[in-house]
A and B are shown apart, each in its own frame.
Chain A
Amino acid sequence: MQDRQKNIRNFCIVAHIDHGKSTLADRLIEKTGTVSKRDMSDQLLDSMELEKERGITIKLTPTRMFYTYDGQEYILNLIDTPGHVDFTYEVSRSLLACEGAILIVDATQGVEAQTLANAYLAIDNNLEILPVINKIDLPSADIPKTRSEIEDVIGIPADEAPCISAKDGINIDEVLEQIIKNVPHPNGDESAPLKALIFDSYYDNFKGAVCFVRIFDGKCKAGDKIRMMQTGKEYEVTEVGTFTPSMKPLNELFAGDVGYICASIKNLTDTKVGDTITNADNPTAEKLPGYKEVQPVVFSGIFLSDGSKYGDLKDALEKLKLNDASLVFMPESSKALGFGFRCGFLGLLHMDIITERLEREFNLDIITTAPSVSYNVYKTNGQMLEVSNPSLLPPTVEIDRIEEPIVKLHVFTPPEYVGAVMELCQEKRGIYIDLQYLDKQRVRLDYTIPLGEIIYDFFDSLKSRTKGYASLDYEMNGFMPSELVRLDILLNGETCDALSLITHKDKAYERGRAIAEKLKKVIPRQLFEVPIQACVGGKIIARETISAMRKDVLAKCYGGDITRKRKLLEKQKEGKKRMRKIGSIELPSEAFMSILRTNDDNDE
């Protein structure tokens, strides 16, 4: 029976964002006839509307394909992975379920930060790496240069790398052949007790929690009793199957397979990603190594414009959490915004996606506060607090020191922008580690830098200062003490807690001024003059004034058309409902997020 596994290949595709992962996945699916041309849509595996629209992959989706080579039929299990740095952990999850990884490199751009990061992840997981050079249809494609970059920068041979155009379907067969020839087949023991890795899960309204699994040893079928080795919970299997890419039931899953298991599991938290499933009657002795738990790194308060719908927001977050274990949230209350949730995200993109899904899929009108990181605050009494909500920072006298999260940052850039990148890193309190010329066209810069600076506006600044040529990657690198202060914003003399933020002492003045200026632009004139003040530790460091409103609509009521006038007023009244009242000031919801983007305007 071990022979069966000789015809299985489990692989994933990794790449820098936009290098063509999802397009290649489409072509492979098409070429193997897994989905008929008629049913093909672009970026097939990106099923969320948001994924298609933004051209990014958020969730990983497995697919089983059949391909005949040399007269033999092979099962190819592809696991698509996200490419953005926020979702690195999703990549590492799929890697554990595979024996090989296709590493796509864009022939017009060469090796980028995420190419390297993902390649290293694959190497760390002992995967066979198949480099593929994509986008050869573009006039600016430089195949020899890309080939040598793969060899020099990543250090893997690339002379046999297929040169393809996923978009135009050129040389796709070559990729399939190389998968069969070079990716090792799985080599599990079918007669051993069941050992299956949960690499993802999602909640289905009818089937309950669905576990995406890679079977390492043994087999599994409906009726089997299974046990989750971490939680110890036991279930009876109701269905097993594979992905085509839609779920297709099978009689049984065997060692080497990628598929799914359903067992009427009510709660998604019982299907921990990284857990090992075994047979309850015939358990395996040791579980698989599993994954590191993912930790959110960016935090933001989410509130509703209409505070009375707090329950709806809670429901929506719980529903999203069902299929996104990395999302964390806890209740929070703000004087300015009422009841809401402090949410933790993997990064800014993740935050963006969640907020957009809340608005779109749940029709909620939300207000998000400026994102923050989580600080370790050591109090004089020896206590340590994790503070991600600026308004919860204890009074200065009680603080011994604050430590902020640090990342190791890698920036890839053409040499002509090295100066600009270094300048940016310095502005953002980065500490230089290393500079390496990868080749004539590419330099890699390494810095340690506070995470709080990266989430502020680093990515946009990097792109604009390097004309979009630089790419970045980072990994968490512990905590470091830092001189941090809370910057408060006072509107008409009253502190608005939702606008507070934690910043470095030396930057407080600059940011305070920028925020005050920005708020002056976004807050509409009120019936009275409104002073905006930025304040640190009780000291005012910046001030702007919004002068009082002078005029609104003096509409003529034509021929007794009172209805129209009333409708106009009602419309204005509706508009006011969307405003947040801070004391006697009416604030539009954009105000809370706009303080994050102060720098954009200055750059223009």
Chain B
Amino acid sequence: MSQSENFGIYVHIPFCLSKCLYCSFISKPACENEIKHYIDFLCGEIENKNNLFVGKVCNSIYFGGGTPSSISEKYIEKVLKTIKKHYKIVKKPEISIECNPCSVSLTKLQTYKRLGINRISFGVQSLNNKELKAIGRRHNSALAMEAILLAQEAGFENISADIMIGLPFQTKSSLCKTINKLVSAGVKHISAYMLILEDGTKLKQMVDCGQVKVANEDESVALYDMTYKKLKEKGFERYEISNFAIPGYECRHNVNYWEVGEYVGFGVSAHSYYGGVRYANSDNFDEYYVEKSTKEKISNRAHIEEMIMLGLRLANGVSIKKLNMCGYDILKHKRKEIDELLKLGLIAISDEYIKITPDNFGVTSAITLKLL
């Protein structure tokens, strides 16, 4: 079974208990009726699109949000059943669900386990209560640690935690503590995202008017470098710019994105990519319910650019051979830039891959721009 015949399924659950201050995603607190209506519609969408992947096999399913754990597990069950009924799935798929430490219970986690979910991703963000409060998270450090224990108790081994870099009040030592605690708790995978102040978020407003201070360029890059080194010590490999895992625990679903693989997304604002076209469901509920979406045919040129842009995020880098297969000889077309970057030690070429050297992931965008 070749990889190109695989695809991923993403399910968006746009509900949360409350909105975090930095969040610019589609999510909202909801009442039971609304959730039920959404799930029904979502299952309809899953069913309707089942003819898109004839002959292909789903390799990963990912529940993201919002907060998938904030809704009753019966809905997750319904969605999974619908997927299984209409799509061909590999024997051992990776099935992930994003959870908020506040909205899990042992029973809920046990149900997830029973449904075949085998990977839990906790939105921990930090284990420092002051930092958590500053970004409007509902949980505290103790609750997060307890959630991880509960997941383990329910039988989960593949547990991931999201953490953030550059939070208000964050210091090297507080970040270090967060990482140490997570690793000691037995987390196998950590996603470390730099805080981005998105337009329209409360946090950006607060920073703009001077109410809170976040890390500057040098500070956040120092925090990121420290995260990389710390996790390396603990046996975590950085397989992607923001993702670190004990070997064997890389997130299959996300790797598919970086390798420009095919996937289908269900739910409001979900994105899909198949047959050379990128689709995006509307990010407005009313529009989503009338099946409004946009699509963009990816030209060969754009496809090549995506391969470079996404591939450079991976530790392995971008495959020169794959680019060649698309008719693009990067070594020829970008000779000058590649030589310049090689001379500066920013990239390395090995095994037919161009990759960013370990210390220079901070400037991925600038390097990518040179190679596009």
Q: Please determine whether B369 and A550 come into contact, CB atoms closer than 8 angstroms.
A: no
What are the residues of chain A within 8 A of B241 when measuring CB–CB? Answer: 554
Is A566 among interface residues, defined by CB-CB distance under 8 A? Answer: yes
- Partner of A562 from B8, B273, B368 at Cβ < 8 Å: B273
Q: Please determine whether B263 and A560 come into contact, CB atoms closer than 8 angstroms.
A: yes
Is A572 among interface residues, defined by CB-CB distance under 8 A? Answer: yes
What is the chain B residue whose CB lies nearest that of A575?
A: B369
What are the residues of chain B within 8 A of A551 when measuring CB–CB? Answer: 194, 217-218, 220-221, 224, 362-363
Minimum C-beta distance from A114 to chain B (A): 44
Q: Please determine whether A561 and B366 come into contact, CB atoms closer than 8 angstroms.
A: no
What are the residues of chain A within 8 A of B217 when measuring CB–CB? Answer: 550-551
Q: Please determine whether A563 and B369 come into contact, CB atoms closer than 8 angstroms.
A: no
- Partner of A560 from B10, B340, B341 at Cβ < 8 Å: B10
What are the residues of chain A within 8 A of B257 when measuring CB–CB? Answer: 557, 560, 562
Q: Please determine whether B364 and A584 come into contact, CB atoms closer than 8 angstroms.
A: no
Range for the number of chain B residues in contact with chain A: 35 or more
The distance in angstroms between the C-alpha atoms of A259 and B340, with both chains bound, is 66
- The digit string for B266-283, where 1 denotes a CB below 8 A from any CB of A, is 000111110000101000
Q: Please determine whether B309 and A565 come into contact, CB atoms closer than 8 angstroms.
A: yes
Is A463 among interface residues, defined by CB-CB distance under 8 A? Answer: no
Q: A527-B344, A550-B221 are in contact. Are A560 and B273 (CB under 8 A)?
A: yes
Q: Please determine whether A552 and B366 come into contact, CB atoms closer than 8 angstroms.
A: yes
The distance in angstroms between the C-alpha atoms of A572 and B25, with both chains bound, is 22
Q: Please determine whether A556 and B365 come into contact, CB atoms closer than 8 angstroms.
A: no
Among A556, A557, A558, A559, max chain B CB count under 10 A is at A559
The distance in angstroms between the C-alpha atoms of A551 and B367, with both chains bound, is 11
What are the residues of chain B within 8 A of A569 when measuring CB–CB? Answer: 305, 309, 365, 368-369, 372
User: Which B residues from 322 to 372 make CB contacts under 8 A with A?
Assistant: 340-341, 344, 346, 361-370, 372
The distance in angstroms between the C-alpha atoms of A556 and B165, with both chains bound, is 12
Minimum C-beta distance from B310 to chain A (A): 7
Q: Please determine whether A527 and B10 come into contact, CB atoms closer than 8 angstroms.
A: no
Q: Please determine whether B302 and A558 come into contact, CB atoms closer than 8 angstroms.
A: no
What is the chain B residue whose CB lies nearest that of A556?
A: B193
Q: Please determine whether B365 and A552 come into contact, CB atoms closer than 8 angstroms.
A: yes
Q: Please determine whether A560 and B271 come into contact, CB atoms closer than 8 angstroms.
A: yes
What is the chain B residue whose CB lies nearest that of A552?
A: B365
What are the residues of chain A within 8 A of B363 when measuring CB–CB? Answer: 527, 549-552
Is B123 among interface residues, defined by CB-CB distance under 8 A? Answer: no
What are the residues of chain A within 8 A of B233 when measuring CB–CB? Answer: none
What are the residues of chain B within 8 A of A556 when measuring CB–CB? Answer: 193, 196, 242
The distance in angstroms between the C-alpha atoms of A186 and B8, with both chains bound, is 92
What is the chain A residue whose CB lies nearest that of B222?
A: A550
- Partner of A563 from B194, B278, B364 at Cβ < 8 Å: B278
User: Which A residues from 549 to 604 make CB contacts under 8 A with B?
Assistant: 549-563, 565-566, 569, 572-573, 576, 584
Is B157 among interface residues, defined by CB-CB distance under 8 A? Answer: no
The distance in angstroms between the C-alpha atoms of A551 and B221, with both chains bound, is 6
B: residues with CB less than 8 A from A are 8, 10, 12, 25, 64, 193-194, 196, 217-218, 220-221, 224, 241-242, 257, 263, 265, 269-273, 278, 280, 296, 302, 305-306, 309-310, 340-341, 344, 346, 361-370, 372
- 5 nearest A-B pairs in the assembled complex, by CB-CB distance: A552-B365, A551-B221, A551-B362, A550-B221, A560-B271
